[in-house]
Homo-oligomer: A and B are copies of this chain.
Amino acid sequence: MFEGPFGSQLFIFNKNLHKYLNDNVLKYDLNYIQMLFLIRIDKFSNVSQKDLADIFFLTKGYVAKSIKDLENKGFIIRSKGLEDKRQYKMQLTEKALNLIPEFKKINSAWEEKMGLNEINDEFFDTFKKLTRKSIELNEDD
């Protein structure tokens, strides 16, 4: 089924990760990408919407819509920055903070089911190198 070019396999692999994680965060009224956003905001409190777009290679419009939804659902609070008033500062609510350990569990469960702990470091090194290269190819243009 997923024979064919490496690119197609990558597409299918990512789709299935996406589906698995979406299915697992649906009960929190979230999608997978919103989960990634919340984890990132928890880790780096100064992250901006532009940063999120840059980190995950998403359009600013997509991020704005997604963040607005998180705000409406009570996962984050936005407040205008003191220095740059155009820049919103985002903060997790208690509701979101309580979910962070759940998110980690969901991700660990996926990694365990996938058997990632049995894969050697060389694979992950190569994968990281290729990921970096794929980013560079888009920067060249």
Where the two chains meet, the residues of A that have a C-beta atom closer than 8 Å to any C-beta of B are: 1-2, 5-21, 23, 36, 54-58, 107, 110-111, 113-116, 119, 122-124, 126-128, 130-135, 137-138, 141
Nearest B residue to A131 via CB reads B13
Write out the residue numbers on chain B whose beta carbons fall within 8 Å of the beta carbon of A18: 11
CB distance from A135 to the nearest CB of B (A): 5
Chain A at the B interface: SS class: helix
Each complex incorporates copies of this chain amounting to 2
Q: Which of B123, B135, B141 makes the CB contact (< 8 A) with A123?
A: B123
CB distance from A127 to the nearest CB of B (A): 7
Write out the residue numbers on chain B whose beta carbons fall within 8 Å of the beta carbon of A10: 10, 13-14, 17
Check A14 against B11 for contact (C-beta < 8 Å): yes
Check B115 against A16 for contact (C-beta < 8 Å): no
